[in-house]
Chain A
């Protein structure tokens, strides 16, 4: 019964996204649509990184590298193998195209997850900043490798990637990421992730296989980063290594820290804010990035624990704030 309910809920949501996509996408200003899609992609990145950095307490700044692997792999799949598959599959295009796309995304995600495994293994020995530098270095190495593969564009960039990403897919994968990470964190396993963050030695003493959890966090986080890369590539129809520098990784880390380490809703909000901020600051022209960095520093100093800290957003909490404000207002 419960199972059935869940399936129904999923179908309902998918239907809703499809309707949203079909209704909104053609009518919406494409500029806003693009920002919305970037928001979704950044939410996937931030929430998946939060699993590694926030919940498990590992320190990864190589998310852009995973993203690049996922993006390039899925693009190579849909670009080189896609047309052949579409030819051989005797299915209507509206059905087989999404099939190829999802297959490409999953392949990209899997390869990214495999890379996550490779990076996760040093995390058994390294902690904190050392791990950070290793992940950062890893991201850069990935870029150098991609630059040297001519079949996926090299320094030219990978153009003519089929345009498969739409609002539907972005919404779908955003929700999927959130649900997976949330369920994982609030399960028995989730407590184990948190225990690794809080005190590794104690966790080990309690019989928790810390190694396994650390690597798992990396694998899952990397998988979704790969998906995000695939979504971006199939949206822009173009991939270039300049999109996946360590600056991109920094941006994602900023989202996680700004939102609060270990707060999913915080990551979501921060991802949206940090995607909108540069757009909002466009009118100030050359000073845009200066303002952006000043705002970032001020935000970090005034609220170092992030927007939500380790808590999650909930309605009671909002009510409390409002009633407190009301009380203050009445008191004053």
Chain B
């Protein structure tokens, strides 16, 4: 019984090793993401965006006369699995570029591998500055945490005229911890006051204790740089406890699920984002419509970023006119004013995307565009 099973497994391994030798005339792109595990929803939404980009490019006749195939590997949300997935994509599937990860921790585990193999990697939504410092083959198409922290600090202090803020961060999430730190730094520089700093962990569903603590701090707003998976519930519980001040956050908030879960509690809350689904730009509108038709819901921020990452890569391949990873890399680095769904992308010398952030207010359970915030020119 057992030996039979073992032999089946062995046979499968051999098939895997020798079965993949077929040559096809396609362009292979690798993608790794958390399709299962704690953060599966982010991986799946990024994947949807990327799949739409691939579909679009193939409808237009592919790249350099070839069809584009994206090979998706799941990393279960674990850094060491991300490393295995990327190794497999590069060495087994021979992809010419890698797209991935939402979470900076997985991107950080994968980046040295791509750098070593000299395969360009574009992360759609890892906002930690550390990621692209891993080498000259690592890029991103989103803004970075220091910028977002700065934007929210300026908006809160200058536009909302709020001088006392309490912070509630997700301690197990580097994105949230980083963003909270950058926000606090810039906010204090502007003259604001941080009156409380509490934390929770991803996956928590009870935030009443932290909120009860913050309630007595006389803050005028609470900054919650978390993911929508927790924020909706958090805001709801804040209102249950009688906390009526505005709650503000970052791009992790963006999802139709946020309003579904948070409901009326979210009235008058603000967050910064990469794009606004009700941006009248036809590019955005057609994307939103297409996404809705395909998956039956509004896209969250991950989907357009996944789409943009794929598109930036395709454009670079087009311009390079070759599938040589080194040439593709050079072209990605030259990306300028690329019109993505989530804003115009220009890759800077640190391989980060320079782009503005949009501030969104929630009114009548709808996202409402407030204003664009641009990087502050350092004098």
Interface residues of chain A, those whose CB is within 8 Å of chain B, are: 29-32, 34-35, 38, 147-148, 154-157, 159, 163, 232, 236-243, 273, 276-277, 279-280, 282-283, 285-286, 288-289, 299, 302-303, 307
Taking a contact as CB atoms under 8 Å apart, the answer to whether A236 and B9 are in contact is no
Taking a contact as CB atoms under 8 Å apart, the answer to whether B87 and A31 are in contact is yes
Which residues of B (7-52) have their CB < 8 Å from a CB of A?
Answer: 9, 12-13, 16, 35-36
Chain B residues, Cβ within 8 Å of A238: 79, 83, 108-109, 112
A155-B173 contact in complex given A240-B79, A243-B79, A289-B36, C-beta closer than 8 Å: yes
Q: How far is the CA of A232 from the CA of B109 in the complex (A)?
A: 12
Q: How far is the CA of A97 from the CA of B57 in the complex (A)?
A: 49
Taking a contact as CB atoms under 8 Å apart, the answer to whether B36 and A302 are in contact is no
Q: How far is the CA of A64 from the CA of B83 in the complex (A)?
A: 18
Taking a contact as CB atoms under 8 Å apart, the answer to whether A156 and B174 are in contact is yes
Taking a contact as CB atoms under 8 Å apart, the answer to whether A29 and B108 are in contact is no
Chain A residues, Cβ within 8 Å of B178: 156
A154-B177 contact in complex given A29-B92, A31-B88, C-beta closer than 8 Å: yes
Question: B101 near A: Cβ within 8 Å?
Answer: no
A307-B91 contact in complex given A285-B72, A285-B74, C-beta closer than 8 Å: no
Q: How far is the CA of A286 from the CA of B77 in the complex (A)?
A: 13
Taking a contact as CB atoms under 8 Å apart, the answer to whether B177 and A155 are in contact is yes
Q: Residue on B with the closest CB to A30?
A: B91
Interface residues of chain B, those whose CB is within 8 Å of chain A, are: 1-2, 5-6, 9, 12-13, 16, 35-36, 72-74, 76-80, 83-84, 87-88, 90-92, 104-105, 108-109, 112, 117, 128, 130, 134, 171-174, 176-178
Q: Residue on B with the closest CB to A159?
A: B108
| A-B contacts, 18 listed (Cβ < 8 Å) | A31-B87, A31-B90, A31-B91, A31-B92, A34-B84, A155-B173, A156-B105, A238-B108, A240-B79, A242-B79, A243-B80, A273-B9, A277-B9, A279-B84, A279-B88, A285-B72, A299-B5, A302-B2
Taking a contact as CB atoms under 8 Å apart, the answer to whether B2 and A236 are in contact is no
Q: How far is the CA of A310 from the CA of B105 in the complex (A)?
A: 40
Q: Residue on A with the closest CB to B16?
A: A280
Chain A residues, Cβ within 8 Å of B84: 31, 34-35, 38, 279
Closest 9 CB pairs of A and B: A31-B91, A156-B174, A155-B174, A31-B87, A240-B79, A240-B105, A238-B109, A155-B177, A31-B88
Taking a contact as CB atoms under 8 Å apart, the answer to whether A156 and B130 are in contact is yes
Q: Of the candidates B2, B16, B35, B173, which one forms a contact with A307 in the assembled complex, judged by CB atoms under 8 Å apart?
A: B2
Q: How far is the CA of A5 from the CA of B208 in the complex (A)?
A: 68
Taking a contact as CB atoms under 8 Å apart, the answer to whether A303 and B1 are in contact is yes
Q: How far is the CA of A277 from the CA of B105 in the complex (A)?
A: 24
Q: How far is the CA of A35 from the CA of B83 in the complex (A)?
A: 11
Chain B residues, Cβ within 8 Å of A276: 9, 13
Q: Residue on B with the closest CB to A281?
A: B12
Chain A residues, Cβ within 8 Å of B9: 273, 276-277, 280
Q: Of the candidates A35, A273, A302, which one forms a contact with B1 in the assembled complex, judged by CB atoms under 8 Å apart?
A: A302
Taking a contact as CB atoms under 8 Å apart, the answer to whether A243 and B177 are in contact is no
A243-B78 contact in complex given A237-B112, A280-B13, C-beta closer than 8 Å: yes
CB distance from A126 to the nearest CB of B (A): 27
Q: Which of A147, A155, A277, A283 has the most CB of B within 10 A?
A: A155
Q: Of the candidates A29, A31, A157, A236, which one forms a contact with B174 in the assembled complex, judged by CB atoms under 8 Å apart?
A: A157
A29-B91 contact in complex given A156-B128, A280-B12, A288-B74, C-beta closer than 8 Å: yes
Beyond A31-B92, A155-B171, A286-B74, 17 extra complex contacts between A and B, CB < 8 Å: A29-B92, A31-B87, A31-B88, A34-B84, A38-B84, A148-B171, A155-B176, A156-B128, A156-B177, A163-B112, A236-B79, A236-B83, A238-B108, A240-B108, A240-B109, A242-B78, A276-B13
Chain A residues, Cβ within 8 Å of B104: 156-157
Q: How far is the CA of A232 from the CA of B83 in the complex (A)?
A: 11
Q: How far is the CA of A156 from the CA of B104 in the complex (A)?
A: 8
Taking a contact as CB atoms under 8 Å apart, the answer to whether A286 and B36 are in contact is yes
Q: How far is the CA of A286 from the CA of B12 in the complex (A)?
A: 18
CB distance from B181 to the nearest CB of A (A): 10
Q: Which of B78, B83, B108 has the most CB of A within 10 A?
A: B108
Q: Residue on A with the closest CB to B112?
A: A237
CB distance from B89 to the nearest CB of A (A): 9
Q: Which of A156, A243, A288 has the most CB of B within 10 A?
A: A156
Chain B residues, Cβ within 8 Å of A279: 16, 84, 88
Taking a contact as CB atoms under 8 Å apart, the answer to whether A232 and B80 are in contact is yes
